[in-house]
Amino acid sequence: MKTQDIFWNRTAETMSRDEYAKVQLEGLQKTLRRVWQNDFYRDRLKKGGFTNPEDLKSLDDLARLPFFTKEDFREAYPLKMNCVDRRDLLEFHMSSGSTGTPVVMAYTKNDLNQWAECMARCFTMAGLEKGDAFQIMPTFGLFNGGFGCYHGCRKAGLFCVPASSGNTERQIKLMRDFRTKGFCSVVSYVPRIIEKLDAEEKGDRDIPSLRVGIFGSETFSDEMRRKIENRLHIECFDIYGMTETGGIGTTGQDCKAHDGLHVWEDQYITEIVDPVTGAPVPDGEYGEVVFTSVTREAMPIIRYRTHDISRILSREKCSCGRTSLRIDRITGRTDDMLIVKGVNFYPRQVEQALMEIPGVKDEFQIILEEENGMTDVTINVEAEPGVTGHMVAKHLRERLGFLPKGDVFPVGTLPRSEGKAKRVIRKKV
């Protein structure tokens, strides 16, 4: 019987530190020469104090480049950051634009190949092999999730089940009918699948073929991971990527060791910086993740501030055999940190605390009410009979450092979403 090669691209995934540095420097120099021909990039770089792409001689010079942010993408809407002939663009995706002008990412043929390559690495790292049925639950459309999985499926030779989002009963039927081995979705959708399975009157309430769940776009706690794995009998993987980097999976995923997210270092340079000062922080310390692409053509990113909070766990070889640096799973974002009664916390910390309480289910809401400059927080949860609001509040006070208001609701009564869960609701009194 053939033994699966755990690498999609063994050469690229097992380079030495010197080899990664060489690829990154050459790619960065090429990228700077490319973007210098674009008026938007050139003006932005000059305003940041960088005057000539040929001045970059080593990776240490990266710190001389200014940061780029989401606001740069919004200012450049729709295609002012495009660095290739318009006729060479084959596809584009964009963010929702719910908080302003949307972020657009356009792709050349090589960009789509790069995206597919990154996704194929993620799929292989999760244990999927050629011919395995993979169900795509993110929406197909302007968001990048559905098409990113599709491009990766084609590259890796997987049997694509392009289900898109919603219609949970049909999702389960497709999984059973086509013997789905792996699927991708936002993690907050999985409780809907579990609820449907648990409510079935006949059968074993399981999906026997299922082995792999790949989740992106949302942070989730280790407790949530274990809960999903135990109920669905699968292994969960945390995939990383965003519109600005080129889409889902472009910046990496965790392997079967689950000891951090592997970043594709032949594709991206990773920095962790202080969110306030922008100065680099030592390995092991938390900060904001910054990415620079070294292979993308149409709209490369230069020192892009993601707002994601993580840290570099290791630059040493992983037990899986990969040699790329590993960053911690994303703990939160600099722009979704909540401050209540002098305590700073992230929604993921709330989820982690709630999952520790026996009988508490997956759905919850964090309601922030602001009055006269003061913020009160209410945390509503779903739970089985016997769980009281006092029990929940007491545990949250122990874990978060303050006593929130809140209530316990019967299972199935809090609002659901077919897409990314809306955990935080802000109100002004």
Q: Is the dihedral of CA 415, 307, 258, 179 positive or negative?
A: positive
Q: What are phi and psi of 63, to 5 degrees?
A: -65, -15
Q: For residue 142, what are the CA distances in angstroms to 54, 108, 146, 218, 371?
A: 36, 16, 9, 18, 37
State both tokens at 245: 């980097």
How many Å apart are CA 158 and CA 359, to the nearest integer?
Answer: 38
Gyration radius from the chain CA atoms: 22
- Please answer whether residues 241 and 203 qualify as being in contact, where contact means their C-beta atoms are separated by less than 8 angstroms: no
> Is 67 within 8 Å of 290 (Cβ atoms)?
yes
Cα-flanking dihedrals φ and ψ of residue 284, to 5°? 100, -20
In degrees to the nearest 10, what's the CA dihedral of 423, 231, 199, 367? -10
Among candidates 383, 365, 347, 357, which has minimal Cα distance to 427? 365
Q: What is the predicted pLDDT for the residue at 13?
A: 97
Place of tokens 């070889």: 317
Per-residue pLDDT 10s for the chain (429 aa) are 455 678 999 999 999 999 999 999 999 999 999 999 999 999 999 999 999 999 999 999 999 999 999 999 999 999 999 999 999 999 999 985 544 688 999 999 999 999 999 999 999 999 999 999 999 999 899 989 999 999 999 999 999 999 998 899 999 999 999 999 999 998 888 988 999 999 988 777 899 999 999 998 877 788 888 989 999 999 999 999 999 999 999 999 999 999 999 999 999 999 999 999 999 999 999 999 999 999 999 999 999 999 999 999 999 999 999 999 999 998 877 777 676 665 667 777 788 888 889 999 888 898 888 765 567 788 999 999 999 888 888 888 887 777 788 889 999 898 876 666 778 887 766
- Contact in structure between 383 and 360 (CB atoms under 8 Å): yes
Kindly report the number of other CB atoms within 10 A of residue 385's CB atom: 9
> How many angstroms separate the CA atoms of 305 and 327, rounded?
15
Cα gap 223→354, rounded to integer Å:
9
The domains of the chain, with CATH numbers, are 1-335 (3.40.50.12780), 338-428 (3.30.300.30)
Per the CB < 8 A criterion, the answer to whether 263 and 251 are in contact is yes
SS3 call for 238: strand
Output the CA torsion sign for 185, 241, 120, 84. Answer: positive
* Per-residue tokens: 191: 């409780």
Query: DSSP string spanning 245-263?
Result: GTEEEEEEEE-TT-SSEEP
Helix segments in 107-240, DSSP class H: 109-125, 145-156, 168-177, 190-199, 222-232
pLDDT of residue 98: 46
Going by C-alpha positions, the residue among 392, 386, 393 that lies closest to residue 410 is 386
